[in-house]
Amino acid sequence: MPVLRLAIPSPLRRLFDYLPPRGMSDAEVAAMQPGMRLSVPFGPRQVTGYLVAVCSDSELPAATLKHVDAIIDSQPLIPPSLLQLCEWAARYYHHPPGEVFNAAFPRLLREGKAHQSIGLPGWRLTTHGKGLPAGALARSPRQAQALALLQGADAISNRQFKDAGISPGVLRELQAKGLAQKCTLDSPSGDASSRPALELNPEQASVLSALLKTMEGFSCTLLEGVTGSGKTEVYLQLIADCLQRGKQALVLIPEIGLTPQTLDRFSQRFEANIVVLHSGLGEAERYRSWEAARDGSAHIVIGTRSAVFTPLRTPGLIIVDEEHDGSYKQQDGFRYSARDVAVKRGQLECCPVLLGSATPSLESLHNAVAGRYRHHHLRQRAGAASLPAISTIDVRRQELQAGLSPAL
């Protein structure tokens, strides 16, 4: 009798055996794939489990095994490589596998909700709005601007309105007047492109040339560069190459606070669908970004440490910026280092991993010295800028003003 081996979110560091749902044929069971979600009884509760393997038998007597109540997914929602990553992380960090699998799914799916593709939230004109004459909203410039944008397209996403400087309140006012209504747009797809790149100095160009030769297959490279040396520009040109090859790029940053400036920099360079993933997002928005990464409509994924478990349809590059930062280490619950998980993921996905830092961690330096990582340096500041002058001031011999020395 076939047995389904599941990872169940619980404090126990083991897998659990279940019998297939009643009435399911052996052929249907054999067609099940690891990574599918199942609804199962677990003690007095009904929980969502993750299929790890279909086995021919169990170490436990069949009479003691419970039946799966329902199969939630018809196909796995995560690729085999991410499944292997979760299994590896559970072993490496000695953590219950079910809780590790939870890290790869947004909360809505962890709760057993049915998977569905989610488009982008947006707005379109009503019949009344389409027939509104020009100049009708002259006393409300922002509303007139929003109306003009809508009249030039079938529908416009919330993000496009935000980029145009139009707030949600303006759109709600149009809705209250019966001129616009909410809608859902298909997730953007197609090829991504990049705007002209900045000119690199000789040192940057040499490093970029070496990195481009490692873009096929797995490799891990430590890029050590002083502050202002132009590491980000090297990232951007590597990502441009990744997008040209039809691949996705995953960029990890240490803190949520860095997300807006990183997103702005990337949005200015790339004509691409860029999504962000971090704990500060609402559940619906987080699910939407997760799904865009999973189905491949997101070309670039920017996120904090938890984003390392995001499924990607065509992974082509993983970048860990400020790899030395302690924020990459999860300190409670499932304790892990996102930097180390990123390196392992690159190995499983057969894609390059780039670790960037001005002050590399001791572990990364050791791996570079040992030959496990490639090691490149950027010792000059970009644009021929000079490092700031640093001097020591002995405040014991100076009269301070408001706590500051005259030099300050």
**pLDDT at residue 158 in the model:** 83
Q: Are 230 and 200 in contact (CB under 8 A)?
A: yes
Higher pLDDT: 313 or 119? It is 313
223: nearest Cα among 353, 383, 317, 384: 353
The rounded distance, in Å, linking the Cα atoms of 198 and 364 is 29
Sign of CA dihedral 96, 98, 104, 110: negative
Size (the chain), residues: 408
Q: Is the pLDDT of residue 118 over 70?
A: no
* Predicted local confidence at residue 252, as pLDDT: 96
Question: Residue 187 phi/psi, 5° resolution?
Answer: -60, 140
- 321-372 pLDDT, tens digit per residue, is 999 999 999 999 999 999 999 999 999 999 999 999 999 999 999 999 999 9
Q: What is the pTM of this model?
A: 0.80
- Residue 119's pLDDT is what? 66
Query: Which residues touch 70 (CB under 8 Å, ≥6 apart)?
Result: 21, 38, 39
Biggest distance spanned by C-alpha atoms of the chain: 88
pLDDT in tens, 57-83: 899 998 899 999 999 998 999 999 999
CA distances (Å), origin 236, targets 105, 193, 241, 314, 347: 28, 12, 9, 18, 22
When the pLDDT of each residue in the chain is averaged and rounded to a whole number, the result is: 90
State the alpha helices, DSSP H only, in 36-166: 80-92, 97-102, 107-110, 127-130, 141-151, 158-163
Q: Check residue 294 and give its pLDDT.
A: 93
Q: How far is CA 308 from CA 53, 146, 253, in A?
A: 23, 37, 10
d(CA 352, CA 234): 14
Instruction: Please tell me the predicted confidence (pLDDT) of residue 405.
Output: 82
